[in-house]
Amino acid sequence: MGKKRYHHGELREALLDAAEALVRERGAEGWSLREASLQVGVSPSAAYHHFSSRDALVRALSGRVLARLGERLSLAVHEASGDDQQRLIAYARSYITWVLDDPAVARLAFSAGEVPPVPTHPHHVLSVEVDRLVDTDGLSPSARPGAEYLLWAAIHGLATLLVADLVRLDDRAAVDLQAERLVRTVLNGLAQEHPAAPAWPQARTAYTERLADPEAPPDPR
């Protein structure tokens, strides 16, 4: 059978689609660039014109997945209604649902190390919402530093425990309620911080490090 022909740019997207399908079928680690090439009907050498290695393909796929997640979370917070905390609750619910619905792809998205710049990064959406809470007097400015990392740790932690079946809830309605309780608990805890609290450790991620130093070389991990 002859190799398929792709117009300029189509093969790259086809390889990303094939890799994403393989992740869902076999997990984040159980596939190769060669297999992704065969899935789309081209030789591995053709794939190397777009991705120098499997790791390069994984990083590109992770970037695409995070961009989609960022858009999803942005839509969720903009559609939320209710008190000042509801936008962050909507963020948590949408994030956890995404992990539960697509666990292998979610795992891959956060295991690739440095990824290409993402137009709407999930961290940016979360940071904007925490800033909004400060602007509406829902969170003290003194409690703002690092608040998004505490929220992400709680939200991602619950999602991971649910996927691993280490925490069990009866249904998705219960998951949504638990997400709400989780967010409100973190925010209420932050509200109790004394203004003269100690200088907490400054957390960072690959995304925030890139923002701080866009000229820094990529993380090779």
Write the pLDDT tens digit of every residue in 144-172: 999 999 999 999 999 999 999 999 999 99
pLDDT digits 0-9 by tens, 97-147: 999 999 999 999 888 777 778 889 999 999 999 999 999 999 999 899 999
Q: With the C-alpha atoms ordered 18, 24, 25, 31, is the resulting torsion angle positive or negative?
A: positive
Cβ atoms within 10 Å of 76's Cβ, excluding its own: 20
Domains and CATH numbers, the chain: 1-52 (1.10.10), 64-212 (1.10.357.10)
In this predicted model, which residue has the larger pLDDT, 127 or 193? 127
Pairwise CA distance, residues 87 & 93, whole Å: 10
Mean of the pLDDT values across residues 59-68?
93
221 pLDDT band, cuts 50/70/90, is: very low
200 pLDDT band, cuts 50/70/90, is: confident
Per-residue pLDDT at 26 exceeds 80: yes
The 10 Å CB-count burial string (b at 16+, else e) for 156-169 is bebbbebbeeeeee
Per-residue pLDDT at 220 exceeds 60: no
Pairwise CA distance, residues 115 & 90, whole Å: 26
Tokens linked to 26? 């076999």
Per-residue confidence (pLDDT) for residue 215, from 0 to 100: 60
Per-residue pLDDT at 205 exceeds 50: yes
Left (φ > 0), alpha (ψ -120 to 50) or beta: where does 113 sit?
Answer: left
Per-residue pLDDT at 7 exceeds 70: no
Per-residue confidence (pLDDT) for residue 4, from 0 to 100: 62
207: helix, strand or coil: helix
Per-residue pLDDT at 17 exceeds 50: yes
Rounded to the nearest integer, the mean pLDDT of the chain is 88
Give, rounded to a whole angstrom, the gap between the first and last alpha carbons of the chain: 38
In this predicted model, which residue has the larger pLDDT, 158 or 205? 158
Per-residue confidence (pLDDT) for residue 110, from 0 to 100: 84
Nearest Cα to Cα of residue 77 among 59, 93, 65: 93
Indicate the residue type of 190. Answer: L
Per-residue pLDDT at 217 exceeds 90: no
